[in-house]
Chain A
Amino acid sequence: MRAYRLEVNGDKIEIAAPEHWTLLEVLRYKLGLTGTKQGCDKGDCGACTVLVDGEPELACLLLPGAVEGKKILTIEGLAPAHRCRGGEGADPIQESFDEAGALQCGFCQPGVMLSARALLNREPHPSCEQIADSLSGNLCRCTGYKQIYDAVEAAADKEAELKTQGAD
């Protein structure tokens, strides 16, 4: 066992886990944050994508020691973070995915939504190519990706609108 100090979804946590456990296992089986999914356990599918200091990372390929001192955001933290910023409902990414029908089985989508979140943080008005590129590490077996693209574009529009309203 090894003790880790992690910051997950804004909470500072001390946790002990077997030394060979990945961040994915610690999140899922120690912290109960089961929104982060395991689809392959070897970095192929992207279902375990979390944000580490704002960048998408595969939790199944990270040891928790590697992310001590960094800010980890899982899907469970997305809506509360949006609320902390004074927003309503869920994060615009989550709302748009729901509105566009992008959530079929929903299993890959926590990872997809976090990759999309990182994209929009970096590039508020992404092109179709940029969306496809930045989601290419997240396999979705249900949608054929089209409704995901629609959702990301809608979220970008929604955020632009919110910014305009904020400026008014």
Chain B
Amino acid sequence: MAARDLHGPDAPWGDFGVVGQRNRKVDGMDKATGCAIYADDIQLPGMLYAKTLRSPHAHALIRSIDTAKAEALPGVYAVLVGDELPIPYGVIPWTQDEHVLAVEKVRFIGDEVAAVAAVDEDTANAALELIEVEYKPLRAFFDAEEALSNPEPAIHTSKKDVGNLSKHVRLEFGEVDAAAQSADILIDEEYSFHSTTHAAIEPHCAVAQCSPDGKLTLWSSTQITHYVHRALSRVLELEPEKIRVIQPYLGGAFGGKSDPFSLEFIVSALARKTGRPVKLLWTREEVFYAHRGRHAMKMKYRTSAQADGRITSVDANILIDGGSYSSFGLVTTYYSGQLLTGPYDFPSYRFDSTRVFTNKPPCGPKRGHGSVQPRFAFESQLDEVATKLGIDPIEIRRKNFQGDFTKTVNAQRITSNGFLACLDSVERGSDWKNKHGQLPLGRGLGVAGSMYISGTNYPVYPNEMPQAGIQLQVDRSGIVTVFTGANDIGQGSNTMIATVVAEELGLDIRNIRVISADTDLCPVDLGAYSSRITFMVGNACIDAARKLRTQIVGAVASEWDVDARRVSMMGGKVFDLEDSQRVIPSRDAFQIAEAQLETLGATGSYNTPTLGGDYRGGTIGASPAYSFTAHVADVSVDTETGRITCNKVWIAHDCGRALNPMLVEGQMEGSAYMGVAEALMEDHHMNRFGLHAGPSLLDYRIPTSCDTPELESIIVESIDPEGPYGAKEAGEGPLHPAIPAIANAVYDAVGIRLRHLPFTPGKVLEALDAKC
């Protein structure tokens, strides 16, 4: 039975004891003192260092590779080329088009061609210089339209007759054209979203060790241990039981460590070849080329509405620049349309999304996967509808609110929905009524809303097993250890897990240990993506802990010879509800239970209910619950220089119940910061040769403390009926509205509509000139 059937959103035993507290993170002090071990901190005896040779061509056939001189260099232990690992991989089972090292051709500048393991990094780098590769350059495409209209040369040739098309999705719900024709107002505009990247401060790193009996251990900076485990088994042709994948402490990911990456296979293969541990740490430049960041999109939106502001139809046409490989692109293409259908009611909706291969670093999932770009376009357009109709931008959003416990136009089930409270909060917080439209020229407020998934119903590979599993172990000392496959990537999932288990068992959170993301020790979890962990793993924790509690309470009741309903666990103690004198420490209760029963433990799991629309692709975007967000941004626009300054963002986010408000606020602020950065500063731009315009943290310009606006978080708790204690996601949703809220604030400040990201001073000046 799935955990969702077993418990409601309320406090299990009276009042909450741990949930809702601003507890410190379970791993905070490890991080504060430098004790936390990240992948590159691992040093093993006899360890070799690997480096990768990368293509200088954006698109070329490989005619030959000669590694003889590199292999002969003293200190070199092994060289690896693509032919040795010919099995393709890719995170989505239907689009496995990547090789560990290039086979036959390279598809972007930076595509990997060969790898070397040597006694140190300097020797490995010297060996790369000695590898001779003969290329035959092909015509390269850096523009999605150009790649789509030129099927030859195809960047991928495995599928016939599709040219450079990666994925096409067209779905229509209701009568879009009829609704548009009879509407009072129709806004038809084009928008573009540039590519941006994750830029986690920790570069990707992997370390592998292979024992003589063939057991492979990989430590990797991955956010999805389980998929790496599966991919390694497949590509290395090694039974999964011989592979152990461990995620050590992880220095940020934001989606950028979701794919299986070449370095994980390279160190594993080189460790098997050499019999020695091998480490590969990417340089910052390599991380920029590995990318998997936000897809650039060109978007046409046509929204129709009645004179009273009610939307009647939305029609979207989206061209997605996928870069050189599929990665999560199939899902991205669906998400670009499927995730727009809230928090507003669309009576009719159509989207036509086309993902195209180009000879640029591959795009993938970045925080708010596939839906941040359409959200920017639509929320900007909704603002135009409001302006044209003379309706307040917050009011038009209220007017179109879809409600809670409803269905979207594309047949997704909506449960709790706190969007109206989000709107109210940012309206009040920003003093909107006295400021919007009333600030001096050059200063303005803008609003935007959004929704996001709390996990996806459909696992990346179809299977009937639980999406999340938990194992609990009880120790006589009074601690409970939780084993979970879930990846704590800094978002605090281990703390969330400890919070739930401590709540259920009435323990101090400090008496919960969490062992996570180790495939030898932990039950499978599908990892840190699609904002799934709190919802799914939280529910699995309740499932397991409630079973364990029943055992302990039963044993103590039997010891005391009372009904089990009289025994409760709270605050580190077990007590008789009807006799205040009878109370023992939890530790003693554990020992009573262990003596009566056996070694104590319990398992729990979570699987999603059957959800989604009854059409092809109808399960993509289906989530057991959705989060909702509203932002108001306050900006200043310098009409002389064209520079936009974001002064403040009010962030109201409906996360269901905030299990630890401090961690929720951290996610909200980090999300909003990242959105502001995408709007105003960052650009993952490739020049006309396919070279990154600035593959460093200085040139890519991620915001410093001085560039970041004031951020004010307002938590809205809608209490979802199926979330763990009513909780939903907080890690990705709060990014979405930041970008359109800034665009709309710029309109309020100086009366220009910026429809093409990023909002550079040049674009502002151009728009100001055009307006005059």
Residues of A within 8 A of B (CB): 18, 28-29, 32-42, 44-45, 47, 74-76, 78-79, 90, 94-95, 97-101, 103-110, 113, 131-133, 135-149
Name the A residues within 8 Å of B43 (CB-CB). 29, 32
Selected contact of A103 from candidates B31, B40, B665, CB within 8 Å: B31
The answer to whether A90 and B29 have CB atoms under 8 Å apart is: yes
The closest CB in chain B to the CB of A38 belongs to B40
Using known A-B contacts A105-B250, A135-B705, determine if residue A144 contacts B711 with beta carbons closer than 8 Å: yes
The answer to whether B29 and A45 have CB atoms under 8 Å apart is: no
Q: Which of B169-177, B583-591, B621-629, B669-677 is the contact stretch?
A: B669-677
A19 to chain B, nearest CB (A): 12
| Cβ contacts A to B, 24 pairs, < 8 Å | A34-B34, A35-B33, A37-B201, A38-B203, A39-B201, A41-B283, A44-B696, A45-B697, A75-B33, A90-B33, A100-B662, A105-B202, A106-B30, A106-B31, A107-B38, A107-B200, A138-B705, A139-B702, A140-B705, A141-B198, A141-B254, A143-B669, A145-B708, A146-B669
The answer to whether A136 and B34 have CB atoms under 8 Å apart is: no
The answer to whether B200 and A36 have CB atoms under 8 Å apart is: no
Name the B residues within 8 Å of A74 (CB-CB). 34
Name the B residues within 8 Å of A113 (CB-CB). 32
The answer to whether A47 and B201 have CB atoms under 8 Å apart is: yes
Q: Is B759 an interface residue (CB 8 A)?
A: no
Most buried by B among A33, A34, A100: A34
The closest CB in chain B to the CB of A20 belongs to B122
The answer to whether A147 and B705 have CB atoms under 8 Å apart is: no
Selected contact of A141 from candidates B249, B702, B705, CB within 8 Å: B702
A6 to chain B, nearest CB (A): 17
The answer to whether A40 and B697 have CB atoms under 8 Å apart is: yes
Using known A-B contacts A45-B201, A132-B706, A142-B666, determine if residue A37 contacts B28 with beta carbons closer than 8 Å: no
The answer to whether A136 and B705 have CB atoms under 8 Å apart is: yes
Most buried by A among B34, B41, B250, B666: B34
Q: Which of B108-116, B145-153, B476-484, B488-496 is the contact stretch?
A: B488-496
The closest CB in chain B to the CB of A18 belongs to B122
Name the A residues within 8 Å of B492 (CB-CB). 104
Name the A residues within 8 Å of B770 (CB-CB). none
Name the A residues within 8 Å of B32 (CB-CB). 90, 94-95, 97-98, 103, 106, 109, 113
Cα separation A142 to B199 with both chains bound (whole Å) = 10
A-B CB proximity, top 9 nearest: A35-B34, A105-B490, A107-B251, A106-B31, A144-B673, A34-B41, A75-B34, A144-B669, A98-B28
Cα separation A145 to B28 with both chains bound (whole Å) = 17
Name the A residues within 8 Å of B200 (CB-CB). 105, 107, 141
Using known A-B contacts A90-B32, A106-B36, A107-B201, determine if residue A41 contacts B708 with beta carbons closer than 8 Å: no
Name the A residues within 8 Å of B253 (CB-CB). 105
The answer to whether B34 and A132 have CB atoms under 8 Å apart is: no
Name the B residues within 8 Å of A38 (CB-CB). 40, 203, 281
The answer to whether B708 and A105 have CB atoms under 8 Å apart is: no
B662 to chain A, nearest CB (A): 4
The answer to whether A37 and B38 have CB atoms under 8 Å apart is: yes
For B26-66 the 0/1 string (1 means CB < 8 A from A) is 01111111111110110100000000000000000000000
B284 to chain A, nearest CB (A): 4
Q: Is B139 an interface residue (CB 8 A)?
A: no
The answer to whether A33 and B252 have CB atoms under 8 Å apart is: no
Name the A residues within 8 Å of B199 (CB-CB). 141
Name the B residues within 8 Å of A131 (CB-CB). 705
A74 to chain B, nearest CB (A): 7
Cα separation A135 to B283 with both chains bound (whole Å) = 24
The closest CB in chain B to the CB of A75 belongs to B34
Cα separation A75 to B32 with both chains bound (whole Å) = 8
- For residues 654 through 695 of chain B, which have their beta carbon under 8 Å from a beta carbon of chain A? 662-663, 665-666, 669-674
Q: Is B610 an interface residue (CB 8 A)?
A: no
B364 to chain A, nearest CB (A): 17
Cα separation A138 to B122 with both chains bound (whole Å) = 28
Q: Is B698 an interface residue (CB 8 A)?
A: yes
Name the B residues within 8 Å of A99 (CB-CB). 24
The closest CB in chain A to the CB of B42 belongs to A34
The answer to whether B665 and A44 have CB atoms under 8 Å apart is: no
Name the A residues within 8 Å of B34 (CB-CB). 33-36, 74-76, 110
B679 to chain A, nearest CB (A): 14
The answer to whether B254 and A147 have CB atoms under 8 Å apart is: no
Using known A-B contacts A103-B25, A107-B202, A143-B670, determine if residue A136 contacts B706 with beta carbons closer than 8 Å: yes
The answer to whether B711 and A146 have CB atoms under 8 Å apart is: yes
The answer to whether B705 and A37 have CB atoms under 8 Å apart is: no
The closest CB in chain A to the CB of B122 belongs to A18
The answer to whether B31 and A109 have CB atoms under 8 Å apart is: yes
Most buried by A among B30, B202, B491, B492: B202
Cα separation A35 to B40 with both chains bound (whole Å) = 11
The answer to whether A139 and B704 have CB atoms under 8 Å apart is: yes
Selected contact of B705 from candidates A36, A79, A97, A148, CB within 8 Å: A148
Cα separation A108 to B704 with both chains bound (whole Å) = 12
B233 to chain A, nearest CB (A): 28
A138 to chain B, nearest CB (A): 8
Selected contact of A104 from candidates B41, B491, B674, B698, CB within 8 Å: B491
Q: Is B22 an interface residue (CB 8 A)?
A: yes
Name the B residues within 8 Å of A37 (CB-CB). 38, 201-202, 251
The closest CB in chain B to the CB of A135 belongs to B705
Name the A residues within 8 Å of B198 (CB-CB). 141
Using known A-B contacts A101-B666, A106-B490, determine if residue A142 contacts B252 with beta carbons closer than 8 Å: yes
B707 to chain A, nearest CB (A): 8
Name the B residues within 8 Å of A78 (CB-CB). 33
Cα separation A105 to B254 with both chains bound (whole Å) = 11
Cα separation A108 to B670 with both chains bound (whole Å) = 14
Name the B residues within 8 Å of A137 (CB-CB). 704
The closest CB in chain A to the CB of B29 belongs to A98
Name the B residues within 8 Å of A45 (CB-CB). 201, 284, 697
Cα separation A45 to B284 with both chains bound (whole Å) = 10
Name the A residues within 8 Å of B706 (CB-CB). 132-133, 136
The closest CB in chain A to the CB of B30 belongs to A106
Cα separation A35 to B126 with both chains bound (whole Å) = 29
The answer to whether A105 and B251 have CB atoms under 8 Å apart is: yes
The answer to whether A139 and B697 have CB atoms under 8 Å apart is: yes
Most buried by B among A45, A98, A105, A142: A105
Cα separation A141 to B254 with both chains bound (whole Å) = 9
The answer to whether A76 and B697 have CB atoms under 8 Å apart is: no
Selected contact of A101 from candidates B22, B30, B33, B251, CB within 8 Å: B22
B409 to chain A, nearest CB (A): 34
Cα separation A33 to B34 with both chains bound (whole Å) = 8
Cα separation A139 to B702 with both chains bound (whole Å) = 8
Name the B residues within 8 Å of A95 (CB-CB). 32
- For residues 604 through 621 of chain B, which have their beta carbon under 8 Å from a beta carbon of chain A? none
Using known A-B contacts A79-B33, A104-B492, determine if residue A144 contacts B28 with beta carbons closer than 8 Å: no
| Besides A104-B252, A107-B38, A141-B702, 12 new A-B residue pairs in contact (Cβ under 8 A), listed by A number | A28-B41, A29-B43, A35-B33, A37-B202, A37-B251, A74-B34, A75-B33, A97-B32, A141-B252, A143-B670, A144-B670, A146-B711
The answer to whether A106 and B705 have CB atoms under 8 Å apart is: no
The closest CB in chain B to the CB of A132 belongs to B705
A149 to chain B, nearest CB (A): 8
Cα separation A137 to B702 with both chains bound (whole Å) = 12
Name the A residues within 8 Å of B122 (CB-CB). 18
The closest CB in chain A to the CB of B284 belongs to A40
The answer to whether B33 and A106 have CB atoms under 8 Å apart is: no
Cα separation A35 to B283 with both chains bound (whole Å) = 18
Name the B residues within 8 Å of A148 (CB-CB). 705
The answer to whether A103 and B251 have CB atoms under 8 Å apart is: no
Name the A residues within 8 Å of B489 (CB-CB). 105
The closest CB in chain B to the CB of A108 belongs to B201
Using known A-B contacts A35-B35, A76-B34, A133-B706, determine if residue A105 contacts B201 with beta carbons closer than 8 Å: yes
Selected contact of A147 from candidates B252, B666, B698, CB within 8 Å: B666
Name the A residues within 8 Å of B663 (CB-CB). 101
The answer to whether B203 and A104 have CB atoms under 8 Å apart is: no
Selected contact of B252 from candidates A18, A34, A105, CB within 8 Å: A105
